[in-house]
Amino acid sequence: MRADRLLNILLHLQAKGKTTARELAEKLEVSERTLHRDMEALSSAGIPIYAERGIGGGWSLSEGYRTNLTGMRREEVLSLLLLQSSRILEDLGRKKDLDSAFLKLMAALPPAYKKDAETARQRIHIDGAGWNQAIRDLPVLPLLQDAVWEDRKVEILYEKEGTVSSRNLEPLGLVAKDTTWYLVARRSREIRIYRISRIREAKLLAERFERPKKFDLSKYWESWLEDFKTRIPQYRVKIRIKSPLELKIRRNPFLKILKVSPAKKGWSEMELDLETLEWAIGSLMRFGSAVEVLQPEELKESILSKAEEILTLYRKG
């Protein structure tokens, strides 16, 4: 839309200052001829815009012309800048909208706030992605987003435990947990959670559904998450670890610490919940001789057996 483009030109010049026609045309994805017509339209509307020709020239607004953002405190402005999550909006196909919104925000800030805002963006960066590689190929996500907005049913092919089955769902919401997307949907009057990376195909149906009046996506997710945590298996382990490596255990988000005893003679005792025997073996063997398992006995015997298998393999070599 031309009106939206004219507003973007105005706000860009307020935020960035003098800009060449080529730079503006590339940013707005239009020709330079179209851009010149837009500039004429702005000038005709009474906007004090002018062009400087030659090397170092470009389009500018008259000094002092701007639209101030009113009604917002400095702390509120900084909060908006720090809470952006471009990865999530990129997954949803809204990255350009995010860039446009922040351009408008920066353009409308009073001079006293603009310096603080830029300082905050240069000092603090929020990375919403986890350490593991995200599965970014989610071709069904835009379709599911449309279904959620329009209260339309979908038919999906869902893979679980190696089996793919067809399901008709009433999509209620989308949840991004770190680098993973989930669909919250109703099926046969029961609300369930579906991992979107497991949806092999999705089809938007013409049939609409009535959304539950008292359904709250945030509250449902928190409740489901708490219930899910109670169903995760527990495997309590007691270990001795060289004190310098204690911090590495504490920083590992996949190792749940239950108790830590004061260090003695360079060793600390810790109690961990490692969920399963197999996970405990793999998690602790990576520390080699810097960790000694005290309990349970089956874990000690399993690690000893694995160590003997490794010795046998390398001795044969």
CA distance 271 to 258: 5
CA distance 109 to 73: 11
Residue type, 253: P
Quick check: pTM over 0.75?
A: no
Residue 147: partners with Cβ closer than 8 Å, 6 or more residues away: 153, 154, 171, 204
List, run by run, the mean pLDDT of 10-residue segments along the chain (317 residues).
Answer: 67 79 85 86 79 82 61 59 58 66 68 64 56 63 90 94 92 83 91 92 94 89 84 83 80 78 82 86 85 91 90 83
Q: What fold characterizes domain 139-230?
A: SH3 type barrels. (2.30.30)
CA distance 303 to 287: 12
Q: What fold characterizes domain 2-61?
A: Arc Repressor Mutant, subunit A (1.10.10)
Whether 139-230 and 2-61 are alike in CATH topology: the answer is no
- Domain 236-316 CATH class label: alpha beta
Contact 300, 265 (CB under 8 A): no
Residue ranges of the domains in the chain?
2-61, 74-122, 139-230, 236-316
